[in-house]
A = this chain, B = another copy of it.
């Protein structure tokens, strides 16, 4: 199918019309706080349903998968069009829960490594909002070492039998599919014994357990896989070659909301409480006239602008090839550092309100809990320590860290004393 490419201004007009007709406006103040436990399960399920609905509307309006090939239900347009859509979405609702991880990294991985049949089967379904995907990647024992997966897949004729546990999936309880990294060979070094599978979350043997975070959020899940059987046709990439997929998977994950496959209203920040709320905190704490509070507000605003500018520079550099793909770790590292700092600025502005508050305290509410959750941005999606390794070794070319698991069969790799 080779259509004449739509003119950007026509596209913008079309996007604008769609947004006006179909989408509610939202206020920025909705986006404060860190993983706050603001919705009941019923509300969350309703929000998921609304996300699916919007995604379907986008799909029907030819505004889904802007940079996804037309062959798989996308629009086959350039990232510039995605930016236009993002700009037009500013201030409006959007199908937030589908962006990450469904479109990036899952759809990206599928596009890159899936068979034609797999792509046809899943990508249009994703773009229609019918399939929400999760990453079955991290494991309780694993920490930063995702390639050290202990979840095991054993071949049984045309099927694989999976056993193990995955953790830190966001909302697996209302999702459909998992992209799953599993060990298929224990007798080779760790990177050479992995394979990647697609896994329907409702399959027999998958038990989803919701994790309670310290602030009461139950967004994350842990899955226990017990003799889960899946067909070999749901394997992505070659057997034991899962790390080839995994490396790109990791890259797409680091790209996160900077991926051209994700839709995100321009100006949305995802690095914890934004600066507007810092001003509100200072005001509601009665500190807005204090020079030091003003300094902290200025610092938060500096870091927020710095994050945005850095993100744009890295995206441009990687897109133009003047920077390596690995440079995305620079953005990840900086975003973590600044989110942590912002958490401290918030509680500093809150004063005694950081310890206790009433529901009438406006912006002071739950600032203390946000502070307790401060490190989440330095941990989730690969720790800042891993990012610092990538930056120093892959971007700056400093010597690689010594690992004890490189040239040894995975079953012989040293493990925690308490893990045995």
Contact = CB atoms under 8 A, between A and B. Distances in A.
A10 interface: no
User: Among A290, A291, A294, which residue has the most Cβ atoms of chain B within 10 A?
Assistant: A291
A261 to B, nearest CB: 42
A12 B290 CA distance: 49
Contacts of A291: 290-292
A402 interface: yes
Interface in A384-405: 402
Q: For the complex, would chain A's binding face be called helix, strand, loop or mixed by DSSP majority? A: helix
Interface in A272-310: 290-292, 294-295
A392 to B, nearest CB: 16
Interface in A17-75: none
Interface string A336-368: 000000000000000000000000000000000
Contacts of A295: 292
Nearest to A402: B402
Nearest to A296: B292
Nearest to A293: B291
User: Chain A, interface size: which category?
Assistant: under 10
A291 B294 CA distance: 10
A68 B291 CA distance: 53
A204 B28 CA distance: 78
A402 B402 CA distance: 9
A329 to B, nearest CB: 24
A291 B296 CA distance: 12
A102 to B, nearest CB: 41
A292 B294 CA distance: 9
Nearest to A291: B291
Interface string A219-262: 00000000000000000000000000000000000000000000
Contacts of A294: 292
Contacts of A402: 402
Contacts of A292: 291-292, 294-295
Nearest to A295: B292
A397 B66 CA distance: 55
A402 to B, nearest CB: 6
A209 B124 CA distance: 76
A400 to B, nearest CB: 13
A105 to B, nearest CB: 34
A215 B292 CA distance: 32
A295 B292 CA distance: 7
Contacts of A290: 291
A34 to B, nearest CB: 26
A294 B290 CA distance: 11
Nearest to A289: B291
A403 to B, nearest CB: 12
User: Among A292, A294, A295, A402, which residue has the most Cβ atoms of chain B within 10 A?
Assistant: A292
Closest 5 CB pairs of A and B: A291-B291, A291-B292, A292-B292, A292-B295, A290-B291
7 contacts: A290-B291, A291-B291, A291-B292, A292-B292, A292-B294, A292-B295, A402-B402
